Amino acid sequence: MSQNAPTAPTTPSGAAPLLVASGLHKTYGATPALAGADFAIASGEVVAVMGPSGSGKSTLLHCLAGIVPPDGGTVSYAGRDLAGLSDAGRSALRRGDFGFVFQFGQLVPELTCEENVALPLRLTGVGRKEAGARAAEWLGRLEVDDVRHHRPGQISGGQGQRVAVARALVNNPRVLFADEPTGALDSLNGERVMELLVSAARDTGAAVVLVTHESRVAAYSDREVVVRDGRARDMAGAL
């Protein structure tokens, strides 16, 4: 037997990771998007994924969230290999344990803001009244309760992103994936969305994978990982 028993992986902060990727490879046609990327995040950590355009940041996020299957390497969440789950199992994980915010809120235009935020709860079987009450509470936390009966077309971009953050956090996800969440906002609105996003995530203990190319957005994170040519490098380890 080897003297060197494998040790449990840790994040650079020393905590046990909740979500771990090792040696991820992904190619689109002839275009390599990931070429051996590693990543780990612990519960409650906010990690910024930075890097130039086309370096593989969004692909890394999609693989971590089980949206895109990697060609090689593994992603494990809470000790479970995502590749070992059925499509239905991965979908259930995305609905129950993960939350998502994208650059453009992607709210359902026909629904009011409150109905949009209530939607993830309704999809997991919460009754209409309770879902509405919890949605209203989250809209209050994100300081947009005044637009709860408006439709997405009737509110500003900054308000829309706050509604999107409320929708992403309403079912208490253990991981929040945010891909350029303030990319379409001016700097003042962007900063407020980031403050609210990070403080709400800290209150709930969610880990946050924050893809951004802006250092003032990454400043809200505990740790920065830089993706370059499909490989991820932790900046804590680079110091």
Ligand X SMILES: Nc1ncnc2c1ncn2[C@@H]1O[C@H](COP(=O)(O)OP(=O)(O)OP(=O)(O)O)[C@@H](O)[C@H]1O
- Residues in contact with ligand X by CB under 6 A are 28, 31, 33, 51, 53-59, 213
Radius of gyration of the chain (CA): 18
Nearest approach in angstroms of CB 170 to ligand X is 26
Question: For ligand X, which is the closer residue by CB, 18 or 64?
Answer: 64
Collect all residues with Cβ–Cβ distance below 8 Å to 99 and sequence separation of at least 6.
Answer: 120, 167, 168, 169, 171, 173, 175, 176, 177, 206
Nearest approach in angstroms of CB 61 to ligand X is 8
Reading the block at residue 160, the tokens are 């829309």
Reading the block at residue 169, the tokens are 């956090």
Question: For ligand X, which is the closer residue by CB, 28 or 104?
Answer: 28
Question: For ligand X, which is the closer residue by CB, 55 or 76?
Answer: 55
How many Cβ atoms are within 10 Å of 149's Cβ, its own excluded? 11
Nearest approach in angstroms of CB 214 to ligand X is 11
Question: For ligand X, which is the closer residue by CB, 23 or 54?
Answer: 54
Nearest approach in angstroms of CB 92 to ligand X is 24
DSSP line for 166-224: HHHHTT--SEEEEESTTTTS-HHHHHHHHHHHHHHHHHHT-EEEEE-S-HHHHTTSSEE
Which regions of the chain does DSSP assign to beta strands (E)? 19-28, 31-41, 46-50, 72-77, 80-81, 98-101, 175-179, 207-211, 223-228, 231-234
Nearest approach in angstroms of CB 38 to ligand X is 16
**Residue 42 and residue 216 in contact, taking contact as beta carbons nearer than 8 Å:** no
Nearest approach in angstroms of CB 96 to ligand X is 25
Question: For ligand X, which is the closer residue by CB, 82 or 166?
Answer: 82
Question: For ligand X, which is the closer residue by CB, 35 or 111?
Answer: 35
